[in-house]
Structure 1
Amino acid sequence: MSLKYQIVPVTTFAQNCSIVWCDETMKGIVVDPGGDVKQLLALVEQLGVTIEKLVLTHGHLDHVGGTVEMSESLKVDIIGPHKADNFWLQGLEGQSQMFGWPLTEAFEPTEWLDEGDVVTFGNESLSVYHTPGHTPGHVCLFNEDAKVAFVGDVLFNGSIGRTDFPQGDHATLINSIKTKLWPLGNDVKFVPGHGPESTFGRERVSNPYVADEMPLY
């Protein structure tokens, strides 16, 4: 298995930014560079990874706040999320004022992502799943060989994403989890946007929001 990743909690929201790479070629991507860009760049250098692109799961500030700075430092493209999240990216100035963050200016990615797209780096790839509900343009990324998914704020260890933001929808989020993520397999480990990793199987048994295989007592 040549897919490797390292999770780096960034910003005051402890958002899980992931450096993901192919250890055969040492080429990789950064998923959700929300901030603390100097720390991320130092770690990338320490790991010896050549970053080929930055990939965004959705448009919330804590996931995208460091994107432009990192893109300019590394001279790489910004990929994703789905274009339905453009209003979040265009509203970054307002988001940063609301949370009392340094001013983050609006931007557009080099390329939007759609269901069925594939993000490649080195000899590795991640399949793209459009998973609306937390935000309308949220995407999740999945590598079948490594059985690992990067799910942003769709699903957490023991919880699910908030749906009280503009264009969030609880029923849509539950549908995304059950129809897009569960079919990938109970043994899939996932990296959430915040907090510890888990597996889909574990959440199907124990997560109070989406459990469907609750044990009988």
Structure 2
Amino acid sequence: MLNAPWFTVRKIDNKTYAISELGHWEKVHSFLLLGDEKAALVDTGLGIDNMKRITDQLTNLPIDVITTHVHSDHIGSHGKYERLFVHEAERDWLVNGIPGLSIEQIRKNTARDISIPAPPSFNPDTYKPFQGEPTGLLKDGDIIELGNRKLVVYHTPGHSPGHIVIFDKDAGYLFTGDLLYDETPIYAFYPTTNPIDLVNSLEKITRIPEINRIYSSHNTLGLDSAILREVKHAVNYLRMHDLVRFGTGTHHFNGFSIQF
């Protein structure tokens, strides 16, 4: 049994694990993808506990951390890993932090509504998001080779400027980060978001062929790819009704909602 009191580890298949933080209001998921030669870790969670303690129990392979975007709930354990990759548009955020987002607000968001005991090492008063230089920069269309497992990077801005999704071509898994998830609204109302880019990115993922399953970074673990039909409808509806702009509120569709 894994030693993982803060984390919930679930096996998606023999080479894919979800590492979830279900005792936090954001219900964050990170994903460990194993190849023959190395592994990819899609995001590193909140940083309330050390995720490397978990990945060390799951694999001895070298790990490349693939960052969907540089929000604090996705980079929490980045400092525990040696090889970090981020889209080129968010390299500056990873190094210097997000302009205009105070440490007080980040600490408040991280510490609130925790429903299980946090590890003793977590102190919300001294919590700081990771800052540091990435090992490499990603761009749209990049291929990440793990050894008999190929990942494709798609640049999908909107929720943030350098947001990416990762497509596992062999398994047909699409890891959507904060571009698409259920239960709570997809956010595109902060100053650093862009509603037009978000809708364009949603349309973009509907064009990726042979998606079998969608794994987002929050809420339900694993969505049926049929949701992409509703995404197409949402894109057309929002554009047709001139809703793709700040201040138009929350828009509900079958299986998800979007807040501008």
Moved over 6 A (4+): none
Residues 41 and 169 of structure 1: is their aligned pair in 2 closer, same or farther, counting only changes over 3 Å? Answer: same
Q: Equivalent residue for 1:110?
A: 135
Q: Equivalent residue for 1:176?
A: 201
SS of 1:85 mapped into structure 2 = helix
Say yes or no: does 1:15 pair with 2:8.
Answer: no
SS of 1:53 mapped into structure 2 = strand
Say yes or no: does 1:62 pair with 2:62.
Answer: no
How do 1:39-58 and structure 2 match up within 5 A?
A: 40-58=51-69
Contact 1:205 1:211 in 2 (8 A): no
CA distance in 2, matches of 1:199, 1:176: 19
SS of 2:30 mapped into structure 1 = strand
Indicate the percent of aligned positions where both proteins have the same amino acid: 26
Q: Equivalent residue for 1:163?
A: 188
CA distance in 2, matches of 1:19, 1:37: 16
Deviation at 1:103, TM superposition (A): 1.7
CA distance in 2, matches of 1:128, 1:86: 16
Q: Equivalent residue for 1:195?
A: 219
Deviation at 1:208, TM superposition (A): 8.0
Extract unaligned runs of 5+ from structure 2: 1-12, 108-123, 238-253, 255-260
Q: Over residues 123-147 of structure 1, what are the superposed CA-to-partner deviations in whole Å (9 max), with x where a residue is unaligned?
A: 2121010000000110111012211
CA distance in 2, matches of 1:137, 1:3: 30
CA distance in 1, matches of 2:236, 2:211: 15
**TM-score, structure 1 normalization:** 0.80
SS of 1:184 mapped into structure 2 = coil
SS of 2:151 mapped into structure 1 = strand
Q: Equivalent residue for 1:86?
A: 91
Q: Equivalent residue for 2:15?
A: 4
Residues 48 and 108 of structure 1: is their aligned pair in 2 closer, same or farther, counting only changes over 3 Å? Answer: closer
Among 136, 150, 168, the alignment partner of 1:125 is 150
Q: Over residues 89-132 of structure 1, what are the superposed CA-to-partner deviations in whole Å (9 max), with x where a residue is unaligned?
A: 22269554312140234222111110111112232121010000
Among 175, 185, 201, the alignment partner of 1:150 is 175
Q: Over residues 160-214 of structure 1, what are the superposed CA-to-partner deviations in whole Å (9 max), with x where a residue is unaligned?
A: 63112233111211111112x11114743111110122133224238984588x8
2:88 alignment partner AA: K
CA distance in 2, matches of 1:177, 1:159: 16
- Between the two proteins, the alignment pairs up a number of residues equal to 203
Q: Equivalent residue for 1:98?
A: 105
CA RMSD after TM alignment:
2.9
Contact 1:157 1:203 in 2 (8 A): no
Deviation at 1:84, TM superposition (A): 1.6
2:105 alignment partner AA: M
Contact 1:128 1:141 in 2 (8 A): yes
